[in-house]
Structure 1
Amino acid sequence: MVDAMHAIPTNGWRSALQRWIPVFLWAGLIFYFSTESFSFSNTEGFFSDWLFWFLPEISPAQFMALHLVSRKAAHWFEYFVLGILLLRAQRHRDESKLSLATIAWTLALVLAYAASDEYHQSWVLERTASAVDVAIDTFGGICGVFWICLSRKRSTGA
């Protein structure tokens, strides 16, 4: 069975669209998550209802810690997926292995988008920009790329 990452894309604009549309849709979703709708205070209510249902005895300090950790995990996951999508989008038809240049370019794009996302958040009233979030986002992208490299290595037996 061949998964989407290992399928050899065909030439032409249709192939490019098939590879790049998911990247732009995911980047748009990340941009939307950077709006005021997903600020700490706006996600607190949803998160508290959900968490208190599972853990009714949780203290306010524990709640705040779990809310923060879950938000940082969401940052990581968003960019884990973005790294995978960017790597897949850049794959060339004649490329049997991922080149170091493709990997480096993918990580540069992840870092650039993470930084621009935090810049965007600096202009949103209830959001703040954070270098820590850029680092978490970039680490998520690195993990996504690493995961693809490992899965390709296992599937090819290299």
Structure 2
Amino acid sequence: MRNQHLFGGGNQFRLLFCFLTLLWMSLIFLFSSQPGEESTEVSTWVGRGIGRIFVPGFQDAAPSAQEAWALQIDFYVRKGAHFSVYLVLGMLLTASFLTFRPAAQLRTRILIPFALGVLYAASDEFHQLFVPGRSGQVRDVCIDSSGVMIGILLLTLVLHCARRLRRTC
């Protein structure tokens, strides 16, 4: 049984996954278009949310202490966001690719979405060079690329397991 059966077989899946991929890429572009100060506010807000959930007594701490803690983990929040959004992009690129070439060899199923994801990550970092308060970083391209690869591998594993389950049913 081929992966095409897991996605259905019609153009509706192709359109759906291509639309979702383009939508996700647009979301990444919008996040990258935020000026540095606005981006810092968002990541600090996320950091405070993490503190409220995982740090006992965080809500009882002074606002300045909460802010300091959020800023302390800001680097990890930002890099985690890079990895996460590109992990989803890797899954969407792979799903989109499989609607065009469901019988492609495993190597091709991995390499083409990965190349597209890396190119998008590099172009995204280049775009940030023109956004006030932002900078393009090679390190972020590497983090983004890692997210793309893990997303591709996760979806590939899920599809493999689903295919094996369908054979046993």
TM-score, normalisation: structure 2: 0.75
Q: CA deviation at 1:111?
A: 0.2
Would the aligned equivalents of 2:126 and 2:136 in 1 still touch at CA under 8 Å? yes
Amino acid corresponding to residue 46 of structure 1 in structure 2: W
Which shifted more, 104-113 or 49-58?
A: 49-58
Does 1:146 pair with 2:153? yes
Ranges in structure 1 where 5+ consecutive residues have no aligned partner:
none
Amino acid corresponding to residue 40 of structure 2 in structure 1: S
Q: CA deviation at 1:156?
A: 2.2
Does 1:64 pair with 2:71? yes
Q: Percent identity?
A: 25
Partner of 1:50: 49
Does 1:137 pair with 2:144? yes
Partner of 1:6: 6
Higher-Rg structure is: 2
Query: How has the CA–CA distance of structure 1 residues 88 and 127 changed in structure 2, closer, same or farther, with 3 Å as cutoff?
Result: same
Deviant stretches of 4+, over 6 Å: none
The Cα offsets for residues 88-126 of structure 1, whole Å up to 9 and x where unpaired, read as 111147735653213201000000000000000011011
2-structure distance, mates of 1:22, 1:116: 19
Does 1:76 pair with 2:76? no
2-structure distance, mates of 1:117, 1:44: 18
2-structure distance, mates of 1:149, 1:116: 25
**Alignment coverage as a number of residue pairs:** 154
Query: How has the CA–CA distance of structure 1 residues 5 and 78 changed in structure 2, closer, same or farther, with 3 Å as cutoff?
Result: farther
Would the aligned equivalents of 1:87 and 1:145 in 2 still touch at CA under 8 Å? yes
Ranges in structure 2 where 5+ consecutive residues have no aligned partner:
none
Is the partner of 1:126 in helix, strand or coil? coil
- The structure with the greater share of residues assigned to helix is 2
Aligned CA-pair RMSD: 3.0
Is the partner of 1:157 in helix, strand or coil? helix
Partner of 1:104: 111
Is the partner of 2:73 in helix, strand or coil? helix
